[in-house]
Amino acid sequence: MKKRPGIALLLTLLLATTLPAASGKKAEPWCALHLLGFTSDSSLIRLESQLPALAEAGVNMLILEVDYNFDYQSHPELCGTGQPITRAGAKWLTTACRRHNIELVPQFQCFGHQSWAGTTYALLTRYPEFDLTPGAYPGNQGIYCREWDPLNPAVHAMIFDLLDELIKAFDADMIHVGMDEVFLIGDSLSPSTLGKNPASVFAGAVNDLYEHIVKKRDKGMMMWGDRLIDGEKYNLGEWEASKNGTAAAIDSIPKDIIICDWHYEPREEYPSLPLFIDKGFRVLPTSWKKIEAVRAFINYSQALNHPDMLGHLFTIWSSKQDSLALYPPLAQFGRQVRAGAMPAAHSPGAVNAPALR
């Protein structure tokens, strides 16, 4: 009996009969969707089947969080799954996205988010000496997530290899590097950063990534913005803003980094948006699941009427893989974001948005 071809071979054969569509920078607003849980070639096939509906819902950008779920050749020990995304799978999905005029941006969570609950991810499992708090917090108890040590040059040398593989595999014009919710800089159990300026450490990590991605590889770089917002000045809490000294890094990193500014609650105003724009950044406002919060955030950002406001990023933050186009915030507001039209119904944010230069 003949063996059935593997998924990688099937994808390679499909690619041979597929004509890629042209891809380029979009003049229209970005209507982006962030995705978790698509961590194998078979899951990418399921995602491909949803692309027509996503395009109809207004989506013209997907940010696919890959992390350690890829068949890395430079450091195969850092592949954290038995059925990872392959190079053939990445190329096949990229081609499929281009047919639907959707830009595919891979994401690799850098610095923070190196664990979740009791599970430590591949880098710090294989190389515990790269941990920012080596040997501390057994079972990840007492911390939010583990973080790697950005002051150890061996860490970024290894991570750059992984980023290069993702950029090549997805033929990516941009890559998202995460960088959110970093809390352990200067921790008493962090020998490399204890006593150091958190803003300097954080800026150094951002600048190292920028030097490799933008300067060396000539690609765009996206990151989350929460660690660049002063939580003592802006009443946004310690998650959406920084209360651990990293915010001053905003003045020490390149301004052509795209900031994904996430806020999930309804507010009268979102002061981080004019903050980032006044500092010279391009911004992609980012929401989650609360409809009124999404409406208020979109209205506020669009009322700023600034060319550096790129559109909107919808996040799901679950491994849900079916009927993505029916995700309520996207289904309700996606087409309006794509068209640059404000969502209907009153939103205080649309009234109170300040004038910008």
Whether 8 and 49 have beta carbons less than 8 Å apart is answered as no
Residue 173 DSSP SS3: coil
- pLDDT of 18 strictly over 70: no
Please give the pLDDT value at position 6: 54
Give the pTM: 0.91
In a domain, 110, yes or no: yes
Per residue in 108-123, pLDDT (tens digit) is 999 999 999 999 999 9
- pLDDT of 330 strictly over 90: yes
In a domain, 357, yes or no: no
Q: What CATH number is given to the structural domain containing 61? A: 3.20.20.80
User: Rounded to an integer, what distance in angstroms lies between the CA atom of residue 313 and that of residue 103?
Assistant: 13
In a domain, 23, yes or no: no
In a domain, 59, yes or no: yes
* 316 closest CA partner among 50, 28, 49: 50
In a domain, 13, yes or no: no
What domain range is 265 assigned to?
30-352
User: Rounded to an integer, what distance in angstroms lies between the CA atom of residue 300 and that of residue 296?
Assistant: 6
**Tokens 């982006």 sit on residue:** 32
Q: Tell me the C-alpha to C-alpha distance, in Å, between residue 29 and each of 32, 44, 238, 335, 349.
A: 9, 25, 30, 10, 19
In a domain, 170, yes or no: yes
In a domain, 158, yes or no: yes
* Mean pLDDT score, 335-341: 95
Considering only 26-35, 96-105, 186-195, which range has the smallest mean pLDDT? 26-35
Domain count, the chain: 1
Strands (E), the chain: 30-35, 61-65, 103-110, 115-116, 119-120, 174-178, 220-224, 258-262, 282-287, 311-315
In a domain, 333, yes or no: yes
Gap between the terminal Cα atoms of the chain: 70
For the chain, percent of residues with pLDDT exceeding 90: 86
- pLDDT of 28 strictly over 70: yes
- pLDDT of 275 strictly over 50: yes
DSSP state of 216: I
Residue 250's pLDDT band, with cuts at 50, 70 and 90, is: very high
Please give the pLDDT value at position 319: 82
Per residue in 300-310, pLDDT (tens digit) is 999 999 999 99
